[in-house]
Amino acid sequence: MSNLETILAKANDSQPAALKRLFELLRIESVSTDSAYAVECVNAADWLVAQLNDIGFTASRRDTDGHPMVVAHSGGDGRHMLFYGHYDVQPVDPLDLWDRPPFDPVIEDTPKGKVIRARGASDDKGQLMTFVEACRAWKDVTGELPGNISILFEGEEESSSPSLVPFLTEHADELKADFALVCDTGLWDSDTPAITTMLRGLVAEDFTIHAANRDLHSGKYGGPAINPIRVLTKILGGLHDDQGRVTLPDFYEGVPRISNSLKAKWDALNFDTEGFLGDVGLTTPAGEDGYTAMEQIWCRPTCDINGINGGYTGEGFKTVLPADAHAKVSFRLVGTQDPDAISEAFRKYIRDNLPPDCEVTFRAKDGAAATNLPTEAPEFALAHKALSDEWPNEAMFIGMGGSIPIVGHFQEILGMDSVLIGFGQENDQIHSPNEKYDVRSFEKGTRSWIRVLHALQS
């Protein structure tokens, strides 16, 4: 039996103990958004420090202005890898929609197999423990940790990570590695592992159109007085053409063409558009003409109105012409689309379309370019092969409609790319009541990391 096979076998044998350890972590109520749980976040960090020290890392809790970080180093040689996960979890409300106490984990039998039911089972405690358990099995068999590994666990991922950038900046020398391993994503499907390599960027704009100096009565002023809601709807209504394309000049600058070979590969994935939309009560892809739903999510930019309000919106009716109207608009970016240029084009479009007597104020915007990870780098090929060896189907490089901020921070602050591997499922109900993680995800996830770490030693 090769070394790898021995370690994999060890991981299998250790499953009962591994689940017991995971349950200990799941019982810690480390909700990061609610300061009432601050001590629980410290407890989770301390528990992780103890685990990591126990298997040979040099680990410590690093306090911040918010919840603490956990940092650990294996002290080994070779390619330096920084593993990232987060120990904090989403709040549990509405509690009455949970079928059992969210911090009392249990293994449940379901028609689709055994699941671990608890808040954080999937996001992200179960996921990060696949890596810790892989290291433990490795250490148990070989007496050493797998190479030159550092670990960063944060406790504020579910509450906008206020301490993250300062911490990365302050400890850049300590944390900078050759590349990062991030375990906070999902499988393609239950038999197909995935490495997420395309993440859309974001421009978020928040603005108000102002007209009269006070709310007016539409009987008295309706007609001659400009109505800012009408101005707003006209402007927003003009952001897309009849083909669903964004009308801002040069908006599509930097959007890559999808090559025929890539398109063929993606088509072969047989993305279940009907199921994806049907799950939320929809039937018809509403994005740009000429693109599949999957293409629309992975590699086409969007413009969406995320919030709008103005005038009287309560019960009944009030014939008011309001003084102002407000909207929040966001753009999802792909390829090399420039967030600043798009923000500028958007603001110019609004200003150019304002009628007399109207003004616009913009609040601070938020922007990030899309992330395109370098799949041609050797780490990606090695991880791809390792995952494909573990799972029934070959691993996929996939895209994701949203962004994962840590990837951008690692690029910008530490100058390193990330390999995003995770074992979550669409139906894990993260952020919702009755969160779960498949036992199979936990088992094969641990085995996957053993294979990936083994491959990366080469």
The whole-angstrom separation of Cα 434 and Cα 73 is: 34
Query: How many residues at the interface with its own copies, by CB under 8 A?
Result: 78
What are 200's two structure tokens? Answer: 């859309």
For residue 86, give the 3-state DSSP assignment.
strand
Site for its own copies in 409-448 (CB under 8 A): none
What are 417's two structure tokens? Answer: 């790319």
The whole-angstrom separation of Cα 450 and Cα 2 is: 13
| Stretch binding its own copies (CB under 8 A), from 14-22, 40-48, 164-172, 231-239 | 231-239
Cβ neighbours, 10 Å, residue 86: 29
Nearer to its own copies, 62 or 240 (CB): 240
Nearer to its own copies, 101 or 401 (CB): 401
Burial class (CB in 10 A: 0-12, 13-18, 19+), 122: buried
Nearer to its own copies, 143 or 237 (CB): 237
For 270, 292, 392, 435, the CA distances from 191, given in Å and listed in that order, are 14, 23, 6, 21
- In whole angstroms, how close is the CB of 180 to its own copies at the nearest point? 20
Does 247 participate in binding its own copies (rule CB under 8 A)? no
Site for its own copies in 36-75 (CB under 8 A): none
- In whole angstroms, how close is the CB of 408 to its own copies at the nearest point? 14
- In whole angstroms, how close is the CB of 148 to its own copies at the nearest point? 33
Segment holding 69, helix H or strand E: strand 69-73
For residue 209, give the 3-state DSSP assignment.
strand
Site for its own copies in 263-292 (CB under 8 A): 273, 276-277, 280-288, 291
Q: What are phi and psi of 336, to 5 degrees?
A: -110, 25
Nearer to its own copies, 178 or 426 (CB): 426
What are 364's two structure tokens? Answer: 């601070």
Site for its own copies in 315-354 (CB under 8 A): 317-322, 325-326, 328, 330, 332
Nearer to its own copies, 73 or 326 (CB): 326
Does 366 participate in binding its own copies (rule CB under 8 A)? yes
Pair 116, 22: CB distance under 8 Å: yes
The whole-angstrom separation of Cα 245 and Cα 252 is: 9
Out of 9, 42, 106, 236, the only residue in the binding site for its own copies (CB under 8 A) is 236
Q: Running DSSP on this structure, what letter comes out for residue 422?
A: -
Does 368 participate in binding its own copies (rule CB under 8 A)? no
Does 229 participate in binding its own copies (rule CB under 8 A)? yes
Site for its own copies in 209-228 (CB under 8 A): 211-214, 216-227
Does 357 participate in binding its own copies (rule CB under 8 A)? yes
Does 238 participate in binding its own copies (rule CB under 8 A)? yes
The whole-angstrom separation of Cα 122 and Cα 145 is: 25
Q: Helices 125-142 and 3-13, interaxial angle, to 10°?
A: 130
Does 401 participate in binding its own copies (rule CB under 8 A)? yes
Report CA 151 to chain centroid distance, whole Å.
Answer: 19
Nearer to its own copies, 142 or 432 (CB): 432
Cβ neighbours, 10 Å, residue 273: 16
- In whole angstroms, how close is the CB of 275 to its own copies at the nearest point? 12
Site for its own copies in 152-211 (CB under 8 A): 200, 202, 204, 206, 211
The whole-angstrom separation of Cα 232 and Cα 329 is: 12
- In whole angstroms, how close is the CB of 326 to its own copies at the nearest point? 7
Site for its own copies in 296-315 (CB under 8 A): 296-297, 300, 302, 304-313
Does 402 participate in binding its own copies (rule CB under 8 A)? yes
